[in-house]
Amino acid sequence: MTAETPPVAIIMGSQSDWETMKNAADTLDALDIEYEARIISAHRTPDRLYDFANGAKDEGFKVIIAGAGGAAHLPGMTAAMTPLPVFGVPVQSKTMSGQDSLYSIVQMPAGIPVGTLAIGKAGAINAALLAAAVLALGDEDLADRLDAWRARQSAAVAEYPMDSAQ
């Protein structure tokens, strides 16, 4: 990572969210996009959230990926305090399989958008791909890398199903 602020911030409510959010980080790595990952809890570290969200744009971030589970207020509260695009990842909670996280993130009032992804790993990967797509609008090299990533994905899909190995 360079000393310069990376374009993407990956924030999450708890260390326990990292297993899910690492999928976003790995996807950004695959696309050669710099990021910074931070633990910021809307409930346990509200001052940290306030400072991060209010300063994120001036700090130099371009896109924020925010993952949280349960009463998942982190993406929405972040979006309330920054004009940057915020993509929310509902982390799969143990008690409600992430439905609580999803509903907490997706039902934003009109005026403060959070781009809400699927629950869990797929959501984390897609949040990174959406962040890449946003950044690619102003970066032709990244647009080429994203095209290549998608082409590799297509090429990796077998045309015919196989029996799994015994």
Any contact of residue 63 with ligand RP5 (CB under 6 A)?
no
Q: Which C-beta is closer to ligand RP5: that of 14 or that of 82?
A: 14
70 binds ligand RP5, rule: CB under 6 A: yes
44 is in an annotated binding site: yes
Nearer to ligand RP5, 41 or 82 (CB): 41
Q: Is 47 annotated as a binding residue?
A: no
Residue 14 marked as a ligand binder: yes
User: Least distance in Å: CB of 86 to ligand RP5?
Assistant: 15
Cα–Cα distance measured from residue 42 to residue 56, given in angstroms and rounded to the nearest whole number: 15
**What is d(CA 148, CA 9) in angstroms, rounded to the nearest whole number?**
23
Query: 89 to 128, contacts with ligand RP5 by CB under 6 A?
Result: 91
Q: Are 18 and 51 in contact (CB under 8 A)?
A: no
The closest alpha carbon to 87, from 45, 46, 36, 130, belongs to: 130
Piece in contact with ligand RP5 (CB under 6 A), picked from 64-72, 80-88, 109-117, 133-141: 64-72
Minimum distance from residue 132 beta carbon to ligand RP5 (Å): 23
* Binder among 8, 9, 14, 76 for ligand RP5 (CB under 6 A): 14
Q: Does 7 bind ligand RP5 (CB under 6 A)?
A: no
The answer to whether residues 87 and 117 touch, using CB atoms and an 8 Å cutoff, is yes
Measured CA to CA, the distance from residue 144 to residue 148 in angstroms comes to 6
Instruction: Count the residues of the shown chain that bind ligand RP5, applying the rule CB under 6 A.
Output: 10
Report the helix count and the strand count for the chain, using DSSP H and E.
Answer: 6, 5
Task: Report the candidate in 11, 84, 104, 90 with the shortest Cα–Cα distance to residue 49.
Answer: 11
Interaction of residue 41 with ligand RP5, rule CB under 6 A: yes
Q: What angle do CA 132, 99, 74 make, to 5 degrees?
A: 55
- Binding-site annotation: residue ranges: 14, 17, 44
Given the rule CB under 6 A, which residues bind ligand RP5? 13-14, 16-17, 41, 43, 68-70, 91
